Amino acid sequence: MKYFSGFFMGVLVGVGLGFLFAPSSGEELRAQIQQEAQIELKKLEAEWQRRLQQVQKSIEETRNEVKSMGQKAEEAEPAEGTEAAEETEG
């Protein structure tokens, strides 16, 4: 999350500096800012998608691990129950 806040702050600082040092007219400056904002938005969207895919992959891996552990527990459960029953009978 720190990455996104740092990234966003960097964008804001860059736009602010652009306002201060831009040797162009207001209309040109607005067009340039809009263009830069669109570029940064596309970068941010790409980063968001990349992070989202990482999270989805992690969730799927965890889900598979839990499912596997559950299946192993179910397979082990009847064997443990049989052993306990045999001990009480004998």
User: What's the pLDDT tens digit per position in 60-85?
Assistant: 999 999 999 989 888 887 655 555 55
Comparing C-alpha atoms, which of 33, 5, 4, 3 is closest to residue 18? Answer: 33
The residue type found at 21 is F
Q: What is the pLDDT of residues 13-39, one digit of tens each?
A: 877 777 667 666 778 878 888 898 899
pTM over 0.85: no
Neighbours of 67 (CB within 10 A): 10
The tally of domains found in the chain comes to 1
